[in-house]
Structure 1
């Protein structure tokens, strides 16, 4: 009975904390995001087996449709430009900047058909989310063993051409909220050149107007996504990779600052 008496005060306390404590909002949204994604993965697992019989890139369509509503719960919306650049036939490599786990929502917002990702191997051990990633055909690499990662990239290049799939890669290699892009690693560019397929750069605006991890701020806000024109790699060799990386970085870094400045004025900076 004592527990029942506690229920009304707790129900009143929740909206009070949501209105008055930005730290509580931050942790609640983070917890909800992780928990809900795990629930959605649990729902998607049997559906993927029914749809494709197991691991298949076509499962990403189902995963995409299940995840797209999550943005509304977190108070986020996406403003996308350059859709026409994704209307490219055949295999290609997508490269984008990487700020946090929220990138998954933007990725699912624009993910083209027959596209999956390259991700760190540790993700496969993330419970139901890890299993659904495997079922979606995600290519896992061991970042601690460069030789293994290189071998996986070679196999991924062959799979791209044989199965006519697209691969999404985060060339920074890790999450980054410094306000600038980190130097790009070579893997995505080796992959594209080896397969002789185009690279399509995609840039997410800075999250600093609504999400600051260190300051424990997680407000509502807009994320601008800019899809840039494809970069051809036909005829390029491994000798061309350094200049390919530099050109891609310069294009994306310029776009990142441009759209981030624009969206920061509309979102307003987080107060802390």
Structure 2
């Protein structure tokens, strides 16, 4: 009964948040700060409805003075609520072009200024990356990327793709890893308190002076730091 009631309320909330986000997007289309506002519309009520215990340390992002590339692990569709709670100002994300056609949510995502990438069209994907690099350098806009390229669904931290690191190096901006505990493994929506999740932003990693030759080592560094941080958060949560 609790599961059905919660899913019904989350469904209603999803529609209401989408309508509010659409109004914001229509009033100020493609403003980079729409992404943060719309993300809060989705995240704050949903976390309350799910009674998901939430703890976040985003100091390294909040203290960052220049634009940056934020990378985070991607676990499930619930990341919309978990990560939506901490999207910083003037930060847009990169998503697949097909999201644009998801009823209501896709239009909100597009009008919020997020970058839609056609992964099946290499030329179009390169143009999107070039435009995003320009935004990092000249438009006071940071980029949020899931470097795994897909949802892990509890399989741990998957290998990273190169795109986020290429953009950061091309723009000469730092990378900030954001780590999310493995909440999807323990999420129980049919319980009064559905689970616990921790987020932690790691110190910024500068890329100034790097070239594409440095990408493999940079990926290995970020992946290793995130894997260790996630393991530490998981262990802390398990210990109670």
TM-score (norm 1): 0.80
Distance 2:135 2:66 in 1: 13
| Alignment partner, residue 50 of structure 2 | 74
**After the TM superposition, which residues 164-203 of structure 1 pair with which residues of structure 2 at under 5 Å, given as runs?**
164-203=140-179
- Asked if the contact 1:90/1:165 (under 8 Å) is kept, the reply is no
Q: Which runs of 5+ in 1 are unaligned?
A: 1-16, 19-24, 267-272
Q: How many residues align?
A: 238
- Asked if the contact 2:177/2:222 (under 8 Å) is kept, the reply is yes
**After the TM superposition, which residues 43-82 of structure 1 pair with which residues of structure 2 at under 5 Å, given as runs?**
43-50=20-27, 52=28, 54-67=29-42, 68-82=44-58
TM-score (norm 2): 0.90
| Alignment partner, residue 17 of structure 2 | 40
CA distance 1:120–1:33, change in 2 (3 Å): farther
SS at match of 1:39: helix
1:97 corresponds to which of 73, 76, 96:
73
Q: Which runs of 5+ in 2 are unaligned?
A: none
1:145 corresponds to which of 105, 121, 125:
121
Residues 212-240 of structure 1: CA deviation (Å, up to 9, x unaligned): 7xxx9676111100110000000000111
Distance 2:17 2:61 in 1: 30
Residues 101-149 of structure 1: CA deviation (Å, up to 9, x unaligned): 1112222221111111111111111111111111110101122334432
| Alignment partner, residue 215 of structure 2 | 241
- Asked if the contact 2:154/2:184 (under 8 Å) is kept, the reply is no
4+ residue segments displaced more than 6 Å: none
**After the TM superposition, which residues 82-161 of structure 1 pair with which residues of structure 2 at under 5 Å, given as runs?**
82-161=58-137
Q: CA deviation at 1:210?
A: 3.0
Structure number with larger C-alpha Rg: 1
